[in-house]
Structure 1
Amino acid sequence: MDDEALGLTTSPVLALAVTAACPVVLVPDDPSRAAGPMPRSVRDLLGVDARRPSDAAVDFAFDAARVRDARMHAVHAWELPSEAAELPFAIPEEDRAAREDHEVQLLTDALRP
């Protein structure tokens, strides 16, 4: 689905979602505009702050996906600590892998019922 089909045709809506200090749920303004039932390939996307997850937002997203029989995809962005930028060489692979494993565990914990 494109932004228009989701009712996200105005940039203020996207700006709100990007800059909000709290969970934001974007719901299509008119789901009936879809031509027939939504295909199984349609995915719901859940952005998660795994360090401060919102149980209500996670529950809502999973419930919405279940009701619509949509696939749920959760994403969590993270970055290396600022001191990594000061290193003369890239961060050692072992350190990067350990940090990534930690972030994966945080996301797993945030999504666990």
Structure 2
Amino acid sequence: MNKVLIEPIVLVEQKTNIAIILATFAFTMMGFLAAVITIFFSFAKSRTFKKFSREGRFGVFFTTYYYCIISLALTMCFALVTLGKGTSIWAMQTALITTVNSLFQICLITFTIINLSKRAMKE
């Protein structure tokens, strides 16, 4: 049988395990974002932070931050819907898509905070 046809069938058979992993990932990353924002605000008195604020980058940062929280919440919701009996594959597919989206946003937020922290530590 064609490998392309077999792989989706394996995913459907493991949908409960995948849903648990995705829900755990989303919940854990929400906690990570809460920890990261405290690091972000710990540098509030630094010149780097003030320059970041003056240049108007807070709007972009917080838009990305809020959008990431919403994406993670949606990922968790779709993963939990996948656990229900009789749900179709759409919930799992949507959870996987929002997971990739959330992962990209988390990387963006993390790199921003790491760069700001490194600059602030050099002051």
Normalising by structure 2, what TM-score?
0.26
Q: Which has the higher contact order (CA 8 A, sep 6+)?
A: 2
Q: Select the structure that is richer in helix.
A: 2
Normalising by structure 1, what TM-score?
0.27
